[in-house]
């Protein structure tokens, strides 16, 4: 099958937003045969109604229409492909399961791994396209010295999205294009959008999780599993009961506001134990940790890591890079020791590693200590 793929043909995941639109525009300008595909993803029934459609949702009715319109202006084919079943299984079910177990999931990372660079890539191959492309701000290059595809930070540091694609495989990177990585600013991207579609250039960036457009995560999970989360105990570091919480799904590590309980001093969530239904509270110092264990480690830069490796890491998309040492303790499990304490290391989130301008891999945080 792959021998029949055309290296000048690319499928672009069209969300109806500025970034994917300009990605398609840029690739056509570079001489590629571009096909636009909008991915129909699973969405809760209450948000299928038009009254809940919003301008920022990547799979709303208005966004599908926007994607269709710009593809017409670009004179490229446009298709809507149903990925509801796999999205529900790989993204929504995972999201709900993590929250039930006291973790804080990152569904966008799961969507990249299983939908945009797997299911969509397979669809691209079915259409004879060698590549899939998205509007991510990142760069992919091949290093002949080490015979590996590498991921490099975007020119626009504030928009850099390498954190969200740490789990891509060499095979996926081989068939992926990210034309926005070379832009120096989002303003430059909007200028291109404005040149052929004024209304598109004014669209706001999508912020919310696409299948929870009202941002009510706890309400969504409770509706999804048809069960209310039970109240449990707030405890201190010594196990003393401090009061009652409203269900572990309503809290995350490092949280201070919205606890529903006051102590006359700043108090933070230190730990969440889903097995005992207890949430540990403490002062700000208790939120800082120097070590973590992470699983499902994916290395992009190195074929294999042996011994200790000194790199920089961040534990969430917006976090600052912190110097650390990583060591592999099992096949896909690593220990990370930071040179200085890091605030609110959160199970379920990703820890992603960097070496200079290169993102070298990452893993899912299991616990901190």
Q: Catalogue the active-site residues.
A: 111, 210
34 carries a ligand binding annotation:
no
Is 13 labelled as part of a ligand binding site?
yes
348 labeled part of a ligand binding site: no
19 annotated to bind ligand: yes
Name the DSSP letter for residue 175: T
Cite the beta strand spans of the chain per DSSP E: 6-13, 33-40, 78-82, 129-133, 138-143, 148-153, 176-177, 232-235, 241-245, 268-273, 278-282, 288-299, 308-314, 322-328, 334-343, 350-355, 358-368
Query: In 107-226, at which residue ranges do the beta strands (DSSP E only) sit?
Result: 129-133, 138-143, 148-153, 176-177
The SS3 of residue 6 is strand
CB 140 within 8 A of CB 98: no
Q: How far is CA 108 from CA 15, 136, 140, 233, 324, in A?
A: 14, 12, 19, 31, 25
SS3 of residue 162 by DSSP = helix
With left for phi above 0 and alpha for psi between -120 and 50, is residue 263 left, alpha or beta? Answer: alpha
Task: Flag whether 18 is marked binding.
Answer: yes
Tally of CB atoms within 10 A around 127? 15
Q: Which residues pair with 173 in a beta bridge?
A: none
Q: How many CA atoms lie within 13 A of 97 on its CB side?
A: 8
Residue 70 annotated as part of some ligand binding site:
no
**Which one, of 345, 365, 360, 346, lies nearest residue 295 by Cα?**
365
Find residue 273's DSSP bridge partners.
278
The distance in angstroms from the start CA to the end CA of the chain is 48
**16 annotated among ligand-binding-site residues:** yes
Q: Does 135 carry a binding-site annotation? A: yes
Residues with Cβ within 8 Å of residue 275, at least 6 apart in sequence: none
- Per the annotation, binding residues for ATP are 13-20, 39, 135
- Per the annotation, binding residues are 13-20, 39, 135
């Amino acid at each position: 099958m792959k021998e029949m793929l055309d290296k000048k043909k690319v499928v672009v995941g069209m969300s109806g937003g500025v970034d994917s639109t300009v990605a398609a525009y840029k690739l056509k300008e570079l001489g590629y045969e571009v096909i636009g595909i909008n991915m129909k993803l699973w969405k809760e029934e209450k948000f299928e109604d038009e009254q809940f459609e919003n301008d920022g949702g990547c799979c709303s009715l208005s966004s599908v229409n926007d994607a269709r319109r710009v593809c017409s202006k670009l004179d490229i084919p446009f298709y809507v492909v149903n990925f509801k079943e796999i999205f529900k299984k790989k993204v929504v079910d995972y999201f709900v399961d993590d929250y039930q177990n006291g973790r804080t999931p990152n569904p966008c990372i799961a969507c990249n791994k299983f939908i945009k660079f797997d299911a969509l890539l397979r669809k691209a191959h079915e259409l004879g396209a060698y590549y899939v492309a998205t509007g991510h701000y990142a760069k992919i290059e091949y290093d002949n010295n080490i015979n590996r595809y590498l991921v490099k930070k975007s020119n626009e540091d504030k928009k850099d999205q390498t954190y969200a694609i740490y789990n891509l495989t060499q095979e996926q990177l081989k068939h992926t294009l990210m034309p926005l990585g070379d832009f120096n600013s989002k303003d430059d991207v909007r200028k291109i959008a404005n040149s052929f579609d004024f209304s598109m250039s004014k669209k706001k960036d999508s912020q919310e999780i696409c299948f929870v457009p009202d941002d009510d995560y706890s309400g969504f999970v409770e509706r999804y599993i048809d069960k209310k989360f039970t109240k449990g105990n707030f405890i201190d570091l010594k196990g003393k009961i401090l009061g009652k919480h409203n269900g572990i799904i309503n809290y995350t590590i490092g949280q201070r506001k919205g606890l529903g309980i006051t102590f006359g001093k700043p108090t933070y969530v230190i730990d969440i134990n889903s097995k005992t239904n207890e949430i540990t509270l403490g002062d700000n110092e208790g939120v800082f940790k120097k070590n973590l264990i992470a699983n499902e480690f994916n290395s992009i830069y190195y074929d294999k890591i042996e011994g200790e490796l000194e790199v920089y890491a961040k534990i969430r998309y917006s976090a600052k890079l912190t110097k650390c040492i990583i060591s592999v303790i099992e096949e896909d499990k690593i220990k990370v020791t930071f040179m200085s304490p890091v605030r609110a290391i959160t199970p379920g989130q990703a820890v992603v590693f960097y070496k200079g301008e290169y993102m070298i891999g990452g893993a899912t945080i299991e616990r901190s200590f």
